[in-house]
Amino acid sequence: MAAAGSPLIFAVGIIGNIMSFLVILAPVPTFYRVYKRKSTESFQSVPYAMALLSAMLWLYYALLTKDLLLLTINVVGCVVESAYLAIYLVYAPKKATAFTVKLVCTMNVALYGAMVAVLQLCVRDAESRVTIAGGIGATFALAVFVAPLAIIRQVIRTKSVEFLPFWLSFFLTISAVVWFFYGLLMKDYFVATPNVLGLLFGLAQMALHLVYKNPKKKGAVSEAHQVPADEEKNQVQLQQPEEAAHVVAATIHADGEVVRGRGEHDDDALKQSVAVVDIVLPPPEEHPVMPPLEQPAPLPPMRMAVEVV
């Protein structure tokens, strides 16, 4: 089942290696963000643990079938996925760290080690060993495509795909197409079959991006329309006390006539919160007749300044 038997198969396998390599590198921005923020936030370790296990299973299968192209890409996958998990363990909270350690020890060490040991020691027929290893590898290949959908509930609840990387979904979809044709040309249905469902899962993930890629767009538009109204309301509220605080400079004569005027000090007066009213009283001879008092006191002409708060 060597891949180099046909130039077409080899070319498709090379393209498959390139696309799978891009899939492997897709989470790099995610882990760079984890490194910069020193926190894993809401990111989960399950997709990377599953990807590591899948790479380990296909590595074993490639060794059994002597498929060079499967061997090379899965060696790279094992190394890179292990690095991702190491970074995750450094910055994850204690609870997430404990869960990840248990997950890796259970799946990637105990189960994988048990599988390899059983196949190597108990299954004598080489063809049967390849069939069993291929079936297990195909089963876990589906888990790699499904693993990013583990946060679908969070995506729908928050209406955000922040924690579902777009490029990972995109390259998973393209990679599934290429490896499907590679398995078809190689007549290796353990490689071709899981990539059919892998294509469907990849399209589902991309559909989530189309639906929730701009979760706050409508909210931002509505807020933009509300801002002028809020500003106008605030301006009206601010203008009301200013108008109430305007100073009225007036001269009130004894006959009740009010003369309003603006002088050179009006601008300064407008800045004050106190109104000054000048009341001009008539001379004594113009005063109305009052009953005589025991001690009448003359009332000289005078100006009074009354402060009205």
Residue with tokens 């198969």: 9
Question: How far is Cα 253 from Cα 17, in angstroms, rounded to an integer?
Answer: 100
Residues 78 and 52: beta-carbon distance below 8 Å:
yes
Query: How many angstroms separate the CA atoms of 251 and 72, rounded?
Result: 99
Q: Which two tokens mark 143?
A: 């888990």
Place of tokens 């601008």: 267
Residue numbers in the chain where pLDDT is lower than 70: 1-5, 143-152, 163, 215-309
Contact 117, 62 (CB under 8 A): no
Crossing angle of the two packed helices 112-122 and 126-146, in degrees rounded to 10: 160
Q: Residue 150 has what pLDDT? A: 64
pLDDT for 170 equals 82
**Cβ-contact 54, 141 below 8 angstroms:** yes
pLDDT at res. 288: 59
What's the confidence (pLDDT) of residue 30?
86
Helix (H) or strand (E) holding 271: none
Distance, in Å, from the CA atom of 270 to the CA atom of 12, rounded to the nearest integer, reads 83
* Residue 237 phi, psi (nearest 5): -65, -35
- Identify the CA nearest to 87 among candidates 36, 138, 139, 144: 36
Give residue 156's pLDDT: 77
Cα–Cα distance measured from residue 217 to residue 229, given in angstroms and rounded to the nearest whole number: 20
Give residue 272's pLDDT.
47
146 vs 108: CA distance, rounded Å: 18
Q: How many other β-carbons are positioned within 10 Å of the β-carbon of residue 95?
A: 8
Query: Which residues fall within 8 angstroms of residue 143, CB to CB, at 6 or more apart?
Result: 50, 53, 54
Q: What pLDDT does 109 receive?
A: 95
**SS3 assignment, position 248:** coil
